[in-house]
Amino acid sequence: EILVLTVGTLALLAIALHIGAVLHAHAHAHALAAGGEARAPSHPIVAGLASLLIPGWGQLLAGHRHRAVLFLGGVWLLSVAWLLVTPPGMRVLTRLNLALPAALRDGWGPIVMLSAPLVLWAIAVYDAAAGAAAERKR
């Protein structure tokens, strides 16, 4: 059980480090661009395609850091949820005397687990393209 808690803690730290590193790299690139000539906002198609590859990337290209954190964090959250509903994840939860509600295992849970990533990705693509379009109009 200690090993599971340690690995879980390390995973949470890795997630926080990843999101922090992405934001730091974006802030650093933005500061470098501010020192020279201003960078033109990304084209909406480019931002949409970037978020199609990695949710949050298009938001960063459009200059919306908080939205990028929301989508990138959402991907990580869904990844953890997927790991918890796998048979090894269920065994880990059982060892920790935790159990998922029956509705999540048997009812709407599988449908939600299949549709949530698709919905997140679609919203990320739309938001990146719409945000980039709005930035280009300014």
| Model pLDDT for residues 26-61, shown as the tens digit of each residue | 787 777 666 655 567 789 999 999 999 999 999 988
Q: Residue 71 CA to chain centroid, in angstroms?
A: 4
Other CB atoms closer than 10 Å to residue 124's CB: what's the count?
Answer: 27
C-alpha triplet 79, 80, 84: angle, nearest 5°:
120
Q: In the chain, what is the greatest distance between 2 CA atoms, to the nearest angstrom?
A: 57
pLDDT score, position 52: 93
Q: What is the pTM of this model?
A: 0.78
User: Would you say residue 77 has pLDDT above 80?
Assistant: yes
Distance separating alpha carbons of residues 17 and 12, to the nearest angstrom: 9
